[in-house]
Amino acid sequence: MITEYKINWAIPENIGYFISTNKTGNSKGKYKHANFSNQVGEDSKNVESNINELKTLHGLNDITFMNQTHSNTVLKVSREYTHLDCDAMFTEDKTISCAVLTADCIPILVTESSGRMIGCIHAGWRGLQLKIIENFFSKFKSISKSNFRVLLGPCISAQNYEVSDEIFCQFSSYSDRFRKNKSGNYYMDLRYIACDILNELGITNVTISKSCTYNDNFYSYRKDKTTGRFVSLIWFKK
């Protein structure tokens, strides 16, 4: 069985969510144990086994994934797709579940107080710089920002995320979320930059995971390079 990462997120009862770890699953070798990406070199049969196990566990007919490219593309999902070319998606269709895959970037899950929509966002430094979060929430004109419920899932912590001066200069408004080190580079706090952006938009009901993908039971591209991707999934309960 795929092991769940437990985090308490106060959302409507009709919404389900799940974040995997890499403790158990069907993946092998460098990808063990629960890789959900077909784009990292693992045997697709193992990936499909993990996906099918997740669908069975939660009674889902299908899961919509994204072909993530660190873009700022946001799509509305109106019918079931296997993969969409975007880095954020949302839906009000009760038959659709949305998944984001990560291995250091922030997996962001979104719903609102009445449980009428769900969505997810893939946010690394490039996505944050391209305003993927702002683009996502600009799609909702009829929902008050105070009604959104947001979960920032496990990502790489600042102490393990060293970036160059070039990246630091692209985030001058968030310079307090960087710490310069002895080599002249910076440690970047992805999760709290994302939280700051949300707060600036008027979205304050934000639950933040403190887990670090580099140190804990998750995949980390920064640590291993050749590795899997864990899933953060949101759906409408039946």
pLDDT digits (tens, 9 = 90+) for 185-214: 999 999 999 999 999 999 999 999 999 999
In the chain, % helix, strand, coil (3-state, to 5) comes to 25, 25, 50
Q: Are 174 and 186 in contact (CB under 8 A)?
A: no
91: tokens are 């839906």
Other beta carbons less than 10 A from residue 17's beta carbon: 20
Question: Helices then strands (H, E): number in the chain?
Answer: 6, 14
Q: Cβ atoms within 10 A of the Cβ of 130, count? A: 17
The string of pLDDT tens digits covering residues 124-151 is: 999 999 999 999 999 999 999 999 999 9
In a domain, 173, yes or no: no
> Would you say the pTM of this structure is higher than 0.95?
yes
In a domain, 51, yes or no: yes
Helix (H, G, I), strand (E, B) or coil at 73: coil
- The tally of domains found in the chain comes to 1
User: Quick check: is 184 in a domain?
Assistant: no
> Residue 233: helix, strand or coil by DSSP?
strand
Q: Is residue 50 part of a domain?
A: yes
In a domain, 7, yes or no: no
Residue 70 lies in a domain: yes
Q: Is residue 87 a part of any domain in this protein?
A: yes
22 is in which domain, residue-wise? 15-157+190-236
In this structure, is residue 114 part of a structural domain?
yes
